[in-house]
Amino acid sequence: MPGTTDRSADVIVVGAGPAGSAAAWRLRQAGREVVVLEKADFPREKVCGDGLTPRGVKALQDLGIDTSPRAGWVRHKGLRVHGGGVVTEVDWPRLETWPDHSLVLRRSELDARLAAHAQTAGARVHTGVTVTEPLLDDAGRVAGVHAQAGPDREPQVWRAPLVVSAEGLSGRLAKAVGLVRREDRPLGVAVRRYVRSRRAADDYLDISFDLTATGPSRDSMPGYGWIFGMGDGTANVGYGLLDTRRGTGADHRAVLRTWLDTFPAEEGLGEEDAVTPLRGAGLPMALHRGPAYTRGLLLAGDAAGTVNPVNGEGISYALETGLMAGETAADALSRPEGPVRESVLRRYPERLRAAYGRHHRLGMGFLALLARPEVVRFTTAHGLTRPALVAAALRLMGNLTDGRDGDAVDRAVAVLTRLAPAV
């Protein structure tokens, strides 16, 4: 094709979000030549709650990211949980495996930092490059990508033995090779805006299970609202509807307004306090697209549907699966081309399933309970008056345990997880 640019690397990573940057960084630690193709320019807008649980903090630490307050991170020591007129403050657990605090940083800043971290490690990061389709060899194996760069949409061809798709929900490359989203898995949605609020600086992150649908039914919705202080005079306020199959047709603006109207006006959470428009994004959950490896293509993060269906948490799992994808690709490329290399790659989907499948199955059951108004009313009215019970539930929801060798809560969670079939 006239004007086409041909470039190559050991691995092409498509998308410079948390999953893509983590994969690129891990590949560089293994000495692999990696190129990252990102369609946007940094900083970029990204719909997110901006909060990272202790699980996300651990993933950042595994990448060697400085998460100290002097680096601009805002720390919180726990959650303030609202429900049924009851408010309970619960500190993050003190565990061997996970940090005892959460972090907040605007997603636009987080993604830029992670991409820069991968670039510092030696990854070639190209922004303003839109990947349009996979490049297939004669055997139908992914051998690179076709892309368009810059405002003139310059056609490019990038070649590599392996490609990591960290494209997010769109999953263009996955769809092109026949990996479609499973309709039996939940798909959530998150909406958020920034407001000027006196909750901008707080030791706790606020979450609420008092969401109700608009309209005559006024039923509870399978999700929760949040107020996350950003430490800069603003707060990120929004909610996650964790299963759109059980909340179809909700007026997102009305749901958010109805919930925030339950707070006093002086909190600074109303429409008149907004500093950004209301924005929304999909939450692909429960390993909804797979297998996560096929024919030279690995999926990581939202492209594989790794959002936790219990709490809508996505950044932590994007980072973790990005690291896993990078590690798998590096391991595979150290083997001779052929069946031995392919066997390493084919173990990647099973690794994701072993890591998350049972917890996701528990999460899908949890969503079914959240869709029953009487269960939500009873649980919030009675459960939130028992802080120890709330703390245990939040550990289960956040997938934060030390396993069977931990305390009584950990052992109980281990039993529940072991009994649940993997998705």
Does a structural domain hold residue 248?
no
Q: Do the domain assignments include residue 408?
A: no
Q: pLDDT of 260-305, one tens digit each?
A: 998 999 999 999 999 999 999 999 999 999 999 999 999 999 999 9
Considering the domain boundaries, does residue 253 fall inside one? no
Span 122-157, pLDDT tens digits: 999 999 999 999 999 999 999 999 999 999 999 999
What DSSP line would sit under 314-356, residue for residue? -HHHHHHHHHHHHHHHHHHHTSPTTHHHHHHHHTHHHHHHHHH
What is the distance between the alpha carbons of residues 193 and 29, in angstroms, rounded to a whole number? 37
Within-domain flag for 89: no
pLDDT tens digits, residue range 79-133? 999 987 889 999 999 999 999 999 999 999 999 999 999 999 999 999 999 999 9
**SS3 at position 284:** strand
Decide if pLDDT at 422 tops 80.
no
Q: How many residues does the chain have?
A: 423
CB contact at 8 A, 177 and 134: yes
Task: Tell me which residue has tokens 């429960």.
Answer: 286
Residue 210 lies in a domain: no
Count: domains in the chain: 1
Q: Are 80 and 88 in contact (CB under 8 A)?
A: yes
- 255 within a domain of the structure (yes/no): no
Residue numbers of the domain that contains 160? 5-74+103-183+285-360
CB–CB of 390/81 below 8 Å?
yes
Residues with Cβ within 8 Å of residue 209, at least 6 apart in sequence: 81, 82, 83, 220, 224, 370, 376, 380
Name the range with the highest mean pLDDT among 110-119, 207-216, 388-397: 110-119
Distances (CA, A) of 367 to 158, 162, 189, 221, 383: 42, 36, 14, 10, 17
For residue 171, how many C-alpha atoms fall within 13 Å in the half-sphere facing its CB? 29
Domain contains 388: no
Which CATH number covers residue 356?
Answer: 3.50.50.60
Position 423 in a domain: no
Sign of the Cα torsion 283, 288, 292, 296 reads: negative
Q: Which of 251-265, 279-293, 305-319 has the lowest mean pLDDT?
A: 251-265
